[in-house]
Chain A
Amino acid sequence: MADPLLKVSGLNAWYGESHILHGVDFEVGKGELVTLLGRNGAGKTTTLKAIMGIVGKRTGQIRFEGQELAGSTSDIIARAGIAYCPEERGIFSSLNVEENLMLPPVVKPGGVTVEEIYTLFPNLLERRRSQGTKLSGGEQQMLAIGRILRTGASMLLLDEPTEGLAPVIVQRIGEVIRQLKTRGFTVLLVEQNFRFAATIADRHYIVEDGRVVDMVVAADVERSIDKLHDYLGV
Chain B
Amino acid sequence: MFELIGIPPQALFGQLLLGLINGAFYAMLSLGLAVIFGLLNVINFTHGAQYMMGAFAAWLLLTVLGIPFWAALVLAPIIVGFTGVLIERLLLRRIYHLDHLYGFLLTFGLALIIEGVFRWKWGSSGQPYDNPIPGGVNLGFMFLPYYRGWVVIASLVICLATWYAIERTRLGAYLRAATENPTLVRAFGINVPRMITLTYAFGVGLAALAGVLAAPIQQVSALMGTNLVLVVFAVVVIGGMGSIMGSILTGFGLGLIEGLTKVAYPPASNIVIFVVMALVLLVKPAGLFGRTK
Contact = CB atoms under 8 A, between A and B. Distances in A.
B187 A52 contact: yes
A91 to B, nearest CB: 10
A99 interface: yes
Interface in B170-213: 170, 173-174, 176-177, 179-181, 183-192
The CB with the most chain A CB atoms within 10 A, among B185, B189, B191, B192, is that of: B189
Given A90-B181, A92-B180, A105 B188 contact: yes
The B interface, classified by DSSP as helix, strand, loop or mixed, is helix
A75 B176 contact: no
B246 to A, nearest CB: 14
Contacts of A104: 188-189
A152 to B, nearest CB: 10
| Most B-side CB within 10 Å, residue of A53, A75, A104 | A75
Given A54-B183, A86-B184, A90-B184, A105 B176 contact: no
The CB with the most chain A CB atoms within 10 A, among B173, B184, B191, B192, is that of: B184
Nearest to B185: A103
Given A93-B180, A94-B176, A107 B187 contact: no
Contacts, number: 56
Contacts of B189: 75, 78-79, 104-105, 107, 151
Contacts of B190: 75, 105
Chain B CB within 10 Å, residue with most, of A74, A93, A95, A105: A74
Nearest to B183: A54
A179 interface: no
A100 B40 CA distance: 21
B173 A54 contact: no
A102 interface: yes
A148 B184 CA distance: 12
B191 A75 contact: yes
B183 A74 contact: yes
B89 to A, nearest CB: 16
Interface of A: 52-54, 73-75, 77-79, 83-84, 86, 90, 92-95, 99, 102-105, 107, 148, 151
